[in-house]
Amino acid sequence: DAGVIQSPRHEVTEMGQEVTLRCKPISGHNSLFWYRQTMMRGLELLIYFNNNVPIDDSGMPEDRFSAKMPNASFSTLKIQPSEPRDSAVYFCASKLAGGPYEQYFGPGTRLTVT
């Protein structure tokens, strides 16, 4: 299996621009997670999907952030408008639903907002 795929790997954008991060989970996994990692706050869970439905978005920092999962093999995290404080590494992870299965992480997208 190719593992969790994320694109782009690096994104540099100017403040105020829209940013879209993409994720393809492992085939057969029906739980998907978006995390943000920064030096100051560590690894934070932003949102969690189960069977394409958002279950818990309590970690989404504000309305500028939105996430979708239109089908089992694709998810997006959008930031609009972006701000410098959004600069971080964003990870997508997937797992089999229903049990204590481990999460498999993608390589991450490093976002820099200038």
Partner 1 sequence: AQSVTQPDIHITVSEGASLELRCNYSYGATPYLFWYVQSPGQGLQLLLKYFSGDTLVQGIKGFEAEFKRSQSSFNLRKPSVHWSDAAEYFCAVGPGGDSSYKLIFGSGTRLLVRP
Chain residues in the site for partner 1 (CB under 8 A) = 4, 31, 33, 42-43, 45, 48, 50, 55-56, 91, 93, 95, 97-100, 102-108
Q: How far is the CB of 11 from partner 1 (least distance, A)?
A: 15
- DSSP annotation of 69 reads E
> Among residues 9 and 85, whose Cβ is nearest to partner 1?
9
> Among residues 64 and 89, whose Cβ is nearest to partner 1?
89
> Among residues 59 and 81, whose Cβ is nearest to partner 1?
59
Taking a C-beta distance cutoff of 8 angstroms, is the pair 87, 79 a contact?
no
> Among residues 42 and 70, whose Cβ is nearest to partner 1?
42
Q: How far is the CB of 49 from partner 1 (least distance, A)?
A: 10
The H or E element spanning position 93 is strand 88-95
Q: How far is the CB of 16 from partner 1 (least distance, A)?
A: 28
As a whole number of Å, the end-to-end CA separation of the chain is: 36
Peptide bond into 8 cis (omega under 30): yes
Taking a C-beta distance cutoff of 8 angstroms, is the pair 109, 7 a contact?
yes
Taking a C-beta distance cutoff of 8 angstroms, is the pair 77, 65 a contact?
yes
Q: How far is the CB of 61 from partner 1 (least distance, A)?
A: 17
